[in-house]
Amino acid sequence: MKTRITEMFGIQHPIIQGGMHFVGFAEMAAAVSNAGGLGIITGLTQGTPANLAKEIARCRQMTSKPFGVNLTFLPSLTPPDYPGFIKAIIDGGVKIVETAGNNPQKWMPALKEAGIKVIHKCTSVRHSLKAEAIGCDAVSVDGFECGGHPGEDDVPNFILLPRAAEELQIPFVASGGMADGRSLVAALALGAEGMNMGTRFIATKEAPVHENVKQAIVAASELDTRLVMRPLRNTERVLKNAAVDRLLEKEKAMGANLKFEDIIGEVAGVYPKIMKDGAMDAGAWSCGMVVGLIHDVPTVKELVDRIMREADEIIAKRLARFAA
């Protein structure tokens, strides 16, 4: 399938694996790229630019296909070494960067000068237009369903994607709630040029996370995610567990007085415990509502091939029936 996104990134299928903290290691990115999609290494998970450089080199040994790096710009008193991470990306010859969080304007000149294509993750039309205005090449539009940070506007993809299509000139992918061939065809119908998946890619054989995480995803339904940190205007969609219940009780009890320090035990430094050790109640971890559509743990290639086969069938058979 050819779209503006497959052309832009030089990939076979319009399927991207979004950056995921403590999931987006070289194994994950390479598996997706080898399957014909676009795999993405999560920059900040590496901790230092030197480690990111090593991870990029490791990924290059696992695939000859294009892959990207995610850089998440977080509001922080002591920010990570972003110039160092960008240097590691440029020196590593990576040509695609997925930015997320704060506006990446400050970093655009360096990225563009190195010939890097930038896809910025946005949860609203106004942020998408801003991304277009500052020279981003594409946008990943994240609806309210998404795992991770859906923003504060709460607009689901059935509205957000066609609104983005009404306004944007640059191509965009649909992100949030995407799982299968139906998702891809729907995303294309609503104006997107492909799709980005997070949660679905965690439940694959190659995802370098503890088996407990994959089984928790398969076991969960679409009713099992919760929004946390809304009082801090840092809303995150996570899978419900004991830590999330505790966190929500604190939010309820403290109301507008809640501070980040009050919930540090439930959110800070919990990813390695969950993703590596499989301690499923160790804290709050991002997970999308799409978890209700995930019933198996295929290889990445099986998943991607299945999506493309389903999409072709829906377009050629199911939709063709309605075209007369």
Ligand X SMILES: Cc1cc2nc3c(=O)[nH]c(=O)nc-3n(C[C@H](O)[C@H](O)[C@H](O)COP(=O)(O)O)c2cc1C
* Residues that bind ligand X in the complex, under the rule CB under 6 A: 18-21, 23, 42, 70, 72, 100, 121, 142, 145-148, 175-178, 196-200, 285-288, 290
Length of the chain: 324
Minimum CB–partner distance for residue 99 and ligand X (Å): 8
Nearer CB in complex with ligand X: 6/70:
70
Minimum CB–partner distance for residue 238 and ligand X (Å): 9
Minimum CB–partner distance for residue 140 and ligand X (Å): 7
Q: Is the separation of the CB atoms in 16 and 37 below 8 Å?
A: yes
* Rounded CA separation 301/151 (Å): 31
Minimum CB–partner distance for residue 239 and ligand X (Å): 9
Q: How many CA atoms lie within 13 A of 278 on its CB side?
A: 10
* Rounded CA separation 67/30 (Å): 7
Q: Is the separation of the CB atoms in 54 and 88 below 8 Å?
A: no
Minimum CB–partner distance for residue 280 and ligand X (Å): 13
List 173's β-bridge partners, or say none: 140
Phi, psi of 141 (to 5 degrees): -90, 115
Nearer CB in complex with ligand X: 6/17:
17
Nearer CB in complex with ligand X: 13/200:
200
Q: What share of the chain is helix, strand, coil (3-state, %, to 5)?
A: 50, 15, 35
Nearer CB in complex with ligand X: 92/288:
288
Q: Is the separation of the CB atoms in 175 and 14 below 8 Å?
A: no
- What contacts 260, CB < 8 A, 6 or more positions away? 232
Angle between helices 49-62 and 26-34 (to 10 degrees): 30
Nearer CB in complex with ligand X: 255/267:
267
Nearer CB in complex with ligand X: 34/196:
196
Nearer CB in complex with ligand X: 209/263:
209
- Rg of the chain over Cα atoms, rounded to whole angstroms, equals 19
Minimum CB–partner distance for residue 8 and ligand X (Å): 18
Minimum CB–partner distance for residue 103 and ligand X (Å): 14
Residue number, nearest CB to ligand X: 198
